[in-house]
Amino acid sequence: METAMKMTRRTVLSAALCLGLGFGIAGSAYAEKPVVLGFSQVGAESEWRTANTASIKDAAKQAGVTLKFADAQQKQENQVKAIRSFIAQKVDVIAFSPVVESGWDTVLGEAKAAKIPVILTDRAVDAKDKSLYVTFIGSDFVEEGRRAGRWLLERAKTMPAGDINIVELQGTVGSAPAIDRKAGFAEIIAANPKLKVIRSQTGDFTRAKGKEVMEAFLKTDGKKINVLYAHNDDMAIGAIQAIEEAGLKPGKDILVISIDGVKGAFEAMMAGKLNVTVECSPLLGPQLMKVAKQVLAGETVPKRITTEESVFPAEVAAKEFPNRKY
């Protein structure tokens, strides 16, 4: 009898414990534990990047994700340090926008060994081992370069006979957008031998550097320059200032083509100083939070998630401006 009683009590106790534990897991303690996401950002080099950071921070808040945010100030070594610190802190998931394409295998191998999934946003890495990251969410930079090239190819049809001299302001050396936007543009303009890139140099995606490099281009080539192709709006805006200071009219004496579609570019288009911007959306936050949760829930996500984007020529700038979110 006593044994039976004891057994019953033990059974009840273990059942209660099981239930309690089970309830705890399903009801709150574990299931509702917020996801911890370590995010390593490139820096704050452009209007685009500021909007991208805001999008990630806002989306994390909305999604109830605990965000550990680190700004790498455009230095790969800082990103490597941040990723290692996220691993040491045992975050649930790591996301980052790699400043340059190469040199990630070791640190991503460390994340993999620690069983922390990695999501790439905005920029790609050139790692051969694709299992080092779960997915890459971002724009097709080659296509953006092609879109810029196609705009010029069309415009060239209405330009006077003779060579059309282009100067190119490249993004950060070794970064995916700089490599891909250069390649996409070159691929398209090759169809018209009149279109010639006479100078191409990095402006590191910043206004200050864009202005400085354009000043140098203007000093050596001055009136020979017909077109500026800038890998982002910030460099184009810096260069526009240099063109004006040189006594020329941006958008008229020198056609200006750029990429991103930030508000500053729309303002420049409305002022007649920029001819076209190819959209590159920085609003990746909501998609990142969604994918991070799917990955942690064990769902399969596509290896590549491409952002949908448009091209905005100056002619539509005023109409589109009120709709711009960044």
List of long-range contacts for 260-263, beta carbons under 8 Å, 24+ apart: 260/46, 260/47, 260/48, 260/232, 260/233, 260/234, 261/233, 261/309, 261/310, 261/312, 261/324, 261/326, 262/46, 262/47, 262/48, 262/51, 262/233, 262/234, 262/324, 262/326, 263/47, 263/321, 263/324, 263/326
The residue assigned the tokens 């100083």 is 273
Residue nearer to ligand AHR on the CB measure, 11 or 102: 102
- Which two three-digit tokens encode residue 100? 């340059």
| Encoded amino acid at 89, one letter | Q
Residue 122: CB minimum distance to ligand AHR, A: 5
Which whole-number Å values give the CA distances from 110 to 90, 116, 128, 161, 212, in the listed order? Answer: 12, 9, 16, 57, 40
Residue 146: CB minimum distance to ligand AHR, A: 15
Residue nearer to ligand AHR on the CB measure, 92 or 180: 180
C-alpha triplet 62, 176, 281: angle, nearest 5° = 35
Cβ-based neighbour number of residue 144 at 10 Å: 23
Residue nearer to ligand AHR on the CB measure, 164 or 259: 259
Residue 205: CB minimum distance to ligand AHR, A: 4
Contact (Cβ atoms closer than 8 angstroms) between residue 72 and residue 99: yes
Q: Return the bridge partners of 138, or none.
A: 306
Q: For the chain, what's the residue count? A: 326
Residue nearer to ligand AHR on the CB measure, 165 or 210: 210
Residue 239: CB minimum distance to ligand AHR, A: 14
Residue 47: CB minimum distance to ligand AHR, A: 7
Residue nearer to ligand AHR on the CB measure, 123 or 147: 123
Residue nearer to ligand AHR on the CB measure, 226 or 277: 277
30-55 in b/e form (b: 16+ CB < 10 A) is: eeeeebbbbbbbbbebbbbbebbbeb
| Encoded amino acid at 40, one letter | S
Residue 49: CB minimum distance to ligand AHR, A: 5
Alpha-carbon dihedral of residues 151, 235, 206, 280, nearest 10 degrees? -20
Residue 174: CB minimum distance to ligand AHR, A: 12
Residue nearer to ligand AHR on the CB measure, 119 or 246: 119
- Comparing CA positions, the residue from 217, 276, 277 lying closest to residue 245 is 217
Residue nearer to ligand AHR on the CB measure, 110 or 267: 267
Residues near ligand AHR, by CB under 6 A: 45-46, 48-49, 122-123, 177, 205, 232, 234, 259-260, 280
Residue 34: CB minimum distance to ligand AHR, A: 28
